[in-house]
Every structure is written in structure tokens, then in C-alpha cells.
Amino acid sequence: MITGKNYIGNSISAKGSITFKTFNPLLNAENDPIFYEASNNELEDAITIASNAFKIYRKTSGKQKALFLNTIADEILALDDLLIKTYCSETGLPEGRAKGERGRTIGQLRNFASLVHKGSWVEASIDSADPERTPAPKPDLRKMLIPLGPIVVFGASNFPLAYSTAGGDTAAALAAGCPVIVKSHPMHAGTGELVASAIIKAAEKTGMPNGIFSNLNSSGIQVGLDLVQHSKIKAVGFTGSIKAGRALFDLAAQREEPIPVFAEMGSVNPVIILPEALQRNGKSLSKTYAASITLGTGQFCTNPGLILGVKSEELSAFIQDLGKEILQIHPSVMLHPNIIGAYEANKAEAISQPNLEVVTQYNGEVQPNFAKQMITTVEGKAFLKNTRLYQEVFGPFSMVIQCENIHQLEEIISSLEGQLTGTIIAETNEIEIHSKIIATLQNRVGRIIYNGVPTGVEVSPSMVHGGPYPSSTDSRFTAVGINSIKRWVRPFSFQDWPNHLLPDELKNENPLQILRTVNGSQSSESI
Amino acid sequence: MITGKNYIGNSISAKGSITFKTFNPLLNAENDPIFYEASNNELEDAITIASNAFKIYRKTSGKQKALFLNTIADEILALDDLLIKTYCSETGLPEGRAKGERGRTIGQLRNFASLVHKGSWVEASIDSADPERTPAPKPDLRKMLIPLGPIVVFGASNFPLAYSTAGGDTAAALAAGCPVIVKSHPMHAGTGELVASAIIKAAEKTGMPNGIFSNLNSSGIQVGLDLVQHSKIKAVGFTGSIKAGRALFDLAAQREEPIPVFAEMGSVNPVIILPEALQRNGKSLSKTYAASITLGTGQFCTNPGLILGVKSEELSAFIQDLGKEILQIHPSVMLHPNIIGAYEANKAEAISQPNLEVVTQYNGEVQPNFAKQMITTVEGKAFLKNTRLYQEVFGPFSMVIQCENIHQLEEIISSLEGQLTGTIIAETNEIEIHSKIIATLQNRVGRIIYNGVPTGVEVSPSMVHGGPYPSSTDSRFTAVGINSIKRWVRPFSFQDWPNHLLPDELKNENPLQILRTVNGSQSSESI
């Protein structure tokens, strides 16, 4: 049952006077439930109990945290059809996608559960004392990662499950030992409430302290701004637009005590098609890329928004083929009228630029909120001169840049802002010949892909989802995969601390049998 | 020979019109050499060549980088007496300290050399492909840490060798694969130039690209501000005051592309003396702490500026003893007239506060620039009410807080800003009884010490030097030890990349024989 209320820890609460509804883009109508924005008192309460919960949760064992995370996964599955139906009604996305994303969410929770159950992730490190050392005795030093404190998570509009309420940021923070306050995304507030209820049930079932999780509704920006500025909040996770992400980053940096904001923001994900590969595979590439550009109605942060090639007959043919292929794909619905509104506005802004040529646009009749895909093209020289063409058009839109030559292609790559991904379509020998282009691209991105598409972000330890600004606010971390836990922890040293009072991770006897660095060597033995 | 000029890569250059001299605080007179501030053109040149050098240096092998770092160490040793004499003349510090700090600097360089020679530090991680997986094939993903780009390092006034020109920040950045531009500290510009000459010699001997290192003189702030704001600079390391560190952090955060600033700033390093331990060891504690407070004329960022105990006869006796012991120590010289000027001003400001009582101050005659040590005391209630008493007095000064009871002691700890260290003087059973105090302290510091002193920062893998703001600007990193390399790197993923074009660290055959995470397990085998 969706109540429309906030979760302040395990209490449901609706003290605010502002209300809003979610929207079904397929039906082009509001959904029934009324959501109550969190009031300032509710926000304060959520932060106070989070801060108190941290005192207990920071010392909670990895095994208990694992049980909590696995129970969240179980409780999300137990929501069953209600969750899937709510998800679809608030996004327009098909049931298959809803179930796929639920699977990914569950998988992430279980991955983090496994990580903290094993326990070696804390990077325990022990340097033994040497009391005989001259001129000064060497102390005993033991280090491990510890949680930062209460974290605020802003969910993503385009991933209502996997990067929202119990998504990657929340799972990583809870695994780290940090309480989480979610600023629920207003476009899928019902999905958010259901998932929040699952987290709260799991917290109660596994005896977690009240306050370890809260879910605050808000259709505006004030709740988010207040959360980020609150002195008891110690870090922020965000997925969304550059404008919003940067605003939060700026606020956090201006605090008396600045705090880290990890914002995963926009990206145009450049794809470089080198000549030989184009010659050999042009036809199939046009099909592959038409599919990638329109996947999920283009609503992925890894959507290929920029394709670069060197002017040639083959490139002209590819552009035409891509234009034709994209017309073969039936338009699909976007998440919300605001999203399609922005898509249409950004598209119009792009094609109003001099020298940008529309190759094809879907021109059939479509239902309300359905996006008409578009392929455009521009000459390299014109692109370089016009920074407006560098802006992301979030949706099923892509721009093919026809470069004069390889040199200009490299110049364009080096002029790009930071990107989540870069893709190279090439024959193997072309990578070797054009190693300078690869190096330039590598310097602008977090992940480089060979002969594939950027869409489809594998959740695995070797994934980097993040990259130089503005694809993220701190390229030193990833937002996807188990290593994303490192955003929410800090190293901590104990010097000459009595063995029996150390955390289990650092005790001589290594009761958790974790892998540690002992005097420079890896070991899971006791010392 | 000290030329007073800047190193713009391997060119010595003096195009600026502003000059300055360093100062010998023992002689109370300026040293002879004239230093030329870097002009804006020189700064631009240094950044341009650093940016070009990065294109080569980022791909330089660990073994070559190790050779470079070890050669820097050799060249610093080859400076021999000239370096030691210059150091002493610019700081007033004794020869023993100069040699000790040189040893530490050499040790750090060699530690990083060993780290990158072995190569496992890049956290290589491989997740194999599964082309048969449904619904979608699993890609091959391989991840490792790569360098950020050109780094600016601001040296510390109080560590002319170990945390300046070729100090921890520089060694870590060069080990990571980042070119370094040092904004030389004006108080020891001669020492800085000598060390810079050693780095440049080492770079030339080992065939490193020109621009990998530059050393810019400046007695004011503009050179530093320009460096931090330059779009080609990708991160900043700083050691110094909260005011200066925060100013750099703010500038970096306000850039179009914000960059990380790791600033290691002030700290009062609270020491909690619990009652039983005080009763048992009061006398020897007063001796130990008098020595720690005056070590290096109190010019350490881990100097114990705040000592907390619960009101008792024993605490009163300890305060008197500490006051007496500190008078036994002969005053010593501070680094520079500006430093002693600030010490005297901050001390005067502190003792002008109501309720702060001076226990003892050295009252004998002293030479110019010598610091008179001081012990003060205040009641817990008065301390809590007056935030001015929370400010660090950099120098041989400490304040003993007499708390009404353990509860008030905990209240004070939780009211403190972030600290580099916290120390507990206690009998073992007292730690268990007062676990709440320990937990509160742990939440405010980067390192916790049992029955010791905070001064003396061991350079070892398990050391954390850093902590919650304002002891550092990002508690997620340490400034000391090999893990400080992580400040200057980011993770990077290759997806489906041809094996022979991968970096050696990620190739199937594991030619470097490094430790990697392969499909979740640690291995140094080939795959």
C-alpha cells in the first residue's frame, strides 16, 4: 500500500502541507496517490535519528550488515507485482525493464552483502612495533576503513530501482556502515516508498537501529538543499543532471565543514569510428548504433550522443544508413512530461544551430510523451567552433561529426569535457596506428570500449562508472560496482592500541580470517 | 650553488621582477641569495611542459619511475653538506633534525620507488567475458589506477625536506605518474632550489620527459592562486594553515572543472588523560608531555595543544608538574620571524580570553626568534562557551582543560572540530569503561593513540595522517605513507580491449607478475 508519507526511520509521517502526485506517461495522466513533502521538522528528525543510529551501526559487524542487505533484497522481492506495477505506472517503462532493473538492484544488494560478509574490503593493514629501533622505537600501527557518517542519496529519474531508494549509492553506504537518508525522486515517489518500506522492514527484522534509513518526499529542491547543508550529513550521492549535481557540489563545498559529493552527471559518450572498421562493418554498425541510441528511449547516461568519423563516402553512407535504421525503430515513451519537454527543447536548440543538419527524424504520429528519435550531422570545423553543440540532448538523439581528417578528430576529442565512456570502433591495427587518439580519449573518460556500444553498464568489480568532470564530480571513485563503497569510508589508524580492544578486523588472532597487509605482505593468518 | 632562479623543467629562469630573500632566525638576519619570483609567463611555460610531459610520463613503466625516484634520493644525498647547511640557515633547526628529515625524505622516495617497482599498487582487476550469458553477453572488463595529470604541490614551512619540494606529496605524485609543479615555500627557497636541482638531475639522468618537474619561487600568494586555477592542473597537495588551505580548496571547488585539493591543515590533537592512569603515572606524564609540547619548538602539526582531564587533586598536581617540567626545557628558535610573530600573537589572543589561566611561561631572557613555552589551563565549562579557545596556537603551547566530570569531557570531545590525532592516556580497564568517549574521539580524528604522544608520525603503510575537516580537506585520504598515492589517481576500465594493446598490468600473461583481482580472487598468475 502506498501511503504517500515519508519514512522518518520506522515511522511514517506526513506533517508537511505541500503535496504532489506522480504521472503515468503512457496514460498521460496523474497517478492517484498523494505524496506529502517532508517538512523541515521531519527532515531534522530524520537526521537526528540517523546520527544516533550511526553510533551503533558503525560498529555493526559485517555479517550483521550482510544479513540486513540480503533481507532488503528479500523484502524488495516480496513486494512482487505491486512494485512492478507501480514502477511501470510511474515511468512508462515496460515490465521487462522493471523486472530487469529489480534483478540488478537485488544483485547489487547481494554483492555488497557478500563483500561485507567476507570483510576483507576494509583494507586492514598492520605494521608491527619495533621497540628496539633507534633512534626512536617503532609504534604498532593498524589501519582499516571506517564509515564517514550519515549519507544523503538523491535517486536517479531513469533508474527508479537500481540507482534510487535501495540502489547502488544506498547499498554501498549501508554496506560501509553509514545510515542513509534518501531524497526520493518525485517522478517515482510511489516506487520509492515501496522500496523504503522494504528497507525499513528489513531493518526491523534484523535488529538495526532506528534511523539507519529514512525516505523523504519532495517535488521541489528545498528538502535536498537543506539536507546537503546540514552539519550532521557527512557525504552525498547524486545521479542526475550537471546543473543539479553542480549546485549540490557547490553547496557542499561552501559549508563550514565541506563534505564530499559524488555526483554522476551527464555525458555524451563519444564513439570514434575509424576508417577501416567503417569500411568493413558500416552496415551492421548502423543497425547496432540505431538500437543503442534508442535503447530505453535514449534515457541512459551512457547513451551514445556523439559519433565521430573522418569524411568519406563510407561515412556519408553510414550516416544515411543510421538515419534509415533509426526510423525502423518504433518510438517509445519517455519517463515524464518534464523529461520529454526537456528533450524536445534541447533538440530544438541543437538543430537551431547553424551548420547542424538533420539527417532523419521520426515523423509519424506518436502518442503523448513518446519521443521522436533523431540523427543529425555536422562538420568537424563547425562543431569545434560552437560549444552549444557539446551539450547533451538526453533522449534518442545522436550527432555524427564528419571530421576533415584524423588530426581534426583528435582535436575534437581533446576539446571534449570529461565523459563516462569513450568507444573505439576499429580494426586492431588501427588502434596501434592511432594510439595518440586512444591516449587523448583515455584522458577524457572513465571507461573505454572496443568495438561495442557504451550502453549496458555491467555491475562488476572491474567496472568504472564515473570519470573526469562533468561526467562525475570526483573521478577518483566509481558509482557502480563494489568499489563504489570507497566513496563513503575513510582510513583510520590505531597506534599501540590494546589488542583485545581493537576491532576484530585488526586483532592479532584475525578472528574474521580476512585478507590483511601485515608488514607489507598479504596474509589471512593470525599474527 | 643557489642561483635564486626558478626551474621551468630543466631550464633555470628568472624573468620576474619581484625578488626576496630567506631569513636565518638564529642569526636574526637575511641570508644572501636573492630569489626571483616566477612570472606569469614562467608559470604558463611550466604548466605547458608539464601537460606535454604527462602524455609520456603517464605511460612510463613502474620500473622506470622507480629508477627516477631512487635517483632523486641519490641526488639529494649528493647535495651533502650544502643542503644541510642551507636547511639550517633557513630554519634555525639543528643539523641533527636536518639530517633526520633528509633521511625521512630519502626513505619516502625509496618506499614509493619500491611500491611502483613491484607494481601491484594499481589495484588491477579483471572480470572475464562470458559471451554465452543470457539475456546479454558479459563483456571483458579490466580496471587499474591511472594518474590524474599535472599536480601542484605547496610545501610546508615546518618540513623543508620531508613535506616540501621532494617530500611526501611530490614523491607520491611522481610515483603515480603525475608531473609536479612545486610552489616553493619562500621561507626555505634555497633548500627548495637545491632539492629541485636534484630532481631535475635525476630526471635528466633517467631520461624522463622535460616538464615532469618545475619549481616556482614566490613570496606572495598570486603564483599559488594562479596555479590552482589553471585548467591544466588536475589536483593540489597542500600542507599549512587552515586559512590558506581553505582558500585554495575554495578556489579549486569554484573552477569550471573543480579539482581535488588535499590540504593537511591545523590540529590541536586532543589528549585525554583518564583518572586512574593519571593517578598512577602523573609524574612521568608531565615529563613526557613537556617534551612532546616543545619538540621542534612545537612546530609539528601533531603537537598536543589540548589536554583534557577530570578535575581532581591529581589533575591539579599534573598541571603544576607540567608547568614546572616545561620550564626545565631550554627555549629554542622558531623557523622565521613570521612564525614567532604569529605564535606570540596567538598566545596573547588566547591568554586574553576570560577564564584562561597561565600556569607557567618561560620568563628568562631569550635570543631573538626564540619561543617562550607556555602552559595554560581552563575549566571545561568556560572552554565550551568560548570558541576562540578552540583555535590552534602553533608553537610550544598547550592548554589543560579541567572537566567537571567524564560527561563534560565527552561533551567537549564531541564539540571539537576534526583532528589529525587523538590520544588516550588510560589504564586498560578505563578504555573499556569509557568506550563512549573513545567512540566520540574516534569520530573526530584520523589516528588514535594509546598511552603515547601524538608527535612522531611514523612513515608506514598503516599510518593515517589526515582526518575530518579541518585537519584535512578530505578525510578519505592520508598524506603520509604509500597509500597517499591514491590522492593522485583514478580508476579506469578497459572493456573488450585487445590483449596485446592493454597496459602490461592488465594483460592475460601478467608480465609484471603483480597481484591482481581476477574474477573476484587475488592472483599473481597469468590467466
| Residue B360: burial class (beta carbons within 10 Å; 0-12, 13-18, 19+) | middle
**Are A428 and B501 inside 8 Å of each other by CB?**
yes
> Nearest CA to CA, how far is B454 from chain A (Å)?
10
Nearest to B462 among A127, A136, A487 (CB): A127
> How many residues can be counted in chain A?
527
pLDDT number for residue B23:
98
**Are B260 and A476 inside 8 Å of each other by CB?**
yes
- CA nearest to A49, candidates A3, A4, A7: A7
Residue A453 CA, chain-centre distance (Å), reads 18
Mean pLDDT estimate for chain A? 97
CB pairs under 8 A between A and B: 195
* Side-chain-facing half-sphere of A125: CA atoms under 13 Å: 18
| Chain A nearest-CA residue for B460 | A127
Q: Which residues of A touch B432 (CB under 8 A)?
A: 501
**Are B492 and A442 inside 8 Å of each other by CB?**
yes
Kind and range of the H or E run holding B447: strand B445-450
Q: Which CA distances in Å does B499 have to A428, B132, B142, B337, B508?
A: 10, 20, 10, 60, 7
* Mutation target among A51, A233, A414, A495 for the B interface, most CBs of B within 10 A: A495
pLDDT number for residue B266:
82
Show contacts of B137-142: CB within 8 Å, 24+ apart.
B138/A458, B138/A460, B139/A449, B139/A452, B139/A456, B139/A458, B139/B495, B139/B496, B140/B495, B140/B496, B140/B497, B141/A458, B141/A460, B141/A462, B141/A463, B141/B493, B141/B494, B141/B495, B142/A462, B142/B493, B142/B494, B142/B497, B142/B502, B142/B506
B135 pLDDT band (50/70/90 cuts)? confident
Q: Which of A37, A90, A101, A301 is an active site residue?
A: A301
Distance between CA atoms of residues A523 and A519, nearest Å: 10
Nearest to B495 among A432, A450, A473 (CB): A450
* Mutation target among A265, A436, A462, A516 for the B interface, most CBs of B within 10 A: A462
Q: Which of B264, B314, B325, B505 is an active site residue?
A: B264
Q: Which of A42, A264, A325, A505 is an active site residue?
A: A264
Q: What is the percent of chain B where pLDDT is above 70?
A: 100
**The CATH number, out of the four listed (3.40.50.1220, 3.30.1180.10, 3.40.309.10, 3.30.9.10), of the domain defined by the range A270-450:** 3.40.309.10
- SS3 string, B201-231, reads HHHHHCCCCCCCEEEECCCCCHHHHHHHHCC
Q: Which residues of A touch B464 (CB under 8 A)?
A: 143, 491-493
**Are A491 and B143 inside 8 Å of each other by CB?**
no
CA angle (B477 as vertex; B440, B220 as ends), nearest 5: 105
Q: Which of B88, B178, B301, B403 is an active site residue?
A: B301
Cell reading at B206: 633517467
> Nearest CA to CA, how far is B309 from chain A (Å)?
20
* Mutation target among A262, A471, A493, A499 for the B interface, most CBs of B within 10 A: A493
What CATH architecture applies to the domain B271-450?
Answer: 3-Layer(aba) Sandwich (3.40)
Distance between CA atoms of residues B215 and B11, nearest Å: 10
| Chain B nearest-CA residue for A55 | B439
Q: Which residues of A touch B447 (CB under 8 A)?
A: 492-495
- CA nearest to A129, candidates A522, A498, A503, A514: A498
| Chain A nearest-CA residue for B464 | A493
> Nearest CA to CA, how far is B363 from chain A (Å)?
31
- CA nearest to A147, candidates A109, A173, A168: A173
Report which residue type is found at B439.
A
Q: Which residues of B touch A462 (CB under 8 A)?
A: 125-127, 141-143, 493, 517
**Are A249 and B253 inside 8 Å of each other by CB?**
yes
- Per-residue pLDDT reduced to its tens digit, B413-458: 999 999 999 999 999 999 999 999 999 999 999 999 999 999 999 9
| Chain A nearest-CA residue for B418 | A257
**Are A498 and B447 inside 8 Å of each other by CB?**
no
**Are B257 and A468 inside 8 Å of each other by CB?**
yes
CB A431 within 8 A of CB B498: yes
| Chain A nearest-CA residue for B136 | A456
Q: Which residues of B touch A439 (CB under 8 A)?
A: 55, 58-59
The reply to whether A132 belongs to the active site is no
> Nearest CA to CA, how far is A242 from chain B (Å)?
12
How many Cβ atoms are within 10 Å of B340's Cβ, its own excluded? 21
Distance between CA atoms of residues A80 and A85, nearest Å: 9
Q: Which residues of A touch B496 (CB under 8 A)?
A: 449-452
Mean pLDDT estimate for chain B? 97
Residues spanned by CATH 3.40.605.10 within chain A? 6-19+30-130+142-265+477-487
CB B247 within 8 A of CB B65: no
Please, which residues bridge with residue A509 across strands?
none
Nearest to B458 among A141, A431, A477 (CB): A141
CB B371 within 8 A of CB B298: yes
Pairing relation of β-strands B23-24 and B29-30?
antiparallel
This complex has an ipTM of 0.97
- SS3 string, B170-185, reads HHHHHHHCCCEEEECC
CB A182 within 8 A of CB A38: no
* Mutation target among A423, A476, A496 for the B interface, most CBs of B within 10 A: A476
Distance between CA atoms of residues A341 and A133, nearest Å: 70
- SS3 string, A129-180, reads CECCCCCCCECCEEEEEEECCCEEEECCCCCCCCCCCCCHHHHHHHHHCCCE
- Per-residue pLDDT reduced to its tens digit, B222-272: 999 999 999 999 999 999 999 999 999 999 999 999 999 999 998 999 999
> Nearest CA to CA, how far is A18 from chain B (Å)?
34
* Mutation target among B462, B521, B523, B527 for the A interface, most CBs of A within 10 A: B462
Sign (positive or negative) of CA dihedral A340, A345, A348, A350: negative
* Mutation target among B125, B472, B495 for the A interface, most CBs of A within 10 A: B495
Is the pLDDT reported for residue B1 higher than 90?
no
Cell reading at B353: 580570553
Q: Which residues of A touch B486 (CB under 8 A)?
A: 476
pLDDT number for residue A135:
86
- CA nearest to A430, candidates A274, A273, A271: A274
* Side-chain-facing half-sphere of B193: CA atoms under 13 Å: 29
What backbone phi and psi angles, to 5 degrees, belong to A215?
-130, 115
Nearest to B464 among A136, A143, A448 (CB): A143
- CA nearest to A464, candidates B58, B142, B520, B129: B142
Residues spanned by CATH 3.40.309.10 within chain A? 270-450
| Chain B nearest-CA residue for A434 | B501
Which residue ranges in chain A fall short of pLDDT 50?
A: none
Is the pLDDT reported for residue B126 higher than 90?
yes
**The CATH number, out of the four listed (3.40.50.300, 3.40.605.10, 3.40.309.10, 1.10.10.10), of the domain defined by the range A6-19+30-130+142-265+477-487:** 3.40.605.10
CB A464 within 8 A of CB B143: yes
Residues spanned by CATH 3.40.309.10 within chain B? 271-450
Biggest alpha carbon–alpha carbon distance for chain B: 84
| Residue A91: burial class (beta carbons within 10 Å; 0-12, 13-18, 19+) | buried
Nearest to B491 among A428, A432, A483 (CB): A483
| Chain B nearest-CA residue for A484 | B491
**Are A143 and B492 inside 8 Å of each other by CB?**
no
Nearest to B490 among A126, A476, A489 (CB): A476
Nearest to B139 among A139, A142, A452 (CB): A452
- CA nearest to B402, candidates B325, B307, B322: B307
Q: Is A215 helix (H, G, I), strand (E, B) or coil?
A: strand
CA angle (A424 as vertex; A423, A426 as ends), nearest 5: 155
Class of B6-265+477-487 per CATH? alpha beta
The reply to whether A301 belongs to the active site is yes
| Chain B nearest-CA residue for A141 | B462
| Residue A80: burial class (beta carbons within 10 Å; 0-12, 13-18, 19+) | exposed
Q: Which residues of B touch A55 (CB under 8 A)?
A: 439
**Are B442 and A127 inside 8 Å of each other by CB?**
no
**Are B483 and A461 inside 8 Å of each other by CB?**
no
- CA nearest to B430, candidates B217, B237, B275, B291: B275
Q: Is A517 helix (H, G, I), strand (E, B) or coil?
A: strand
**Are B127 and A494 inside 8 Å of each other by CB?**
no
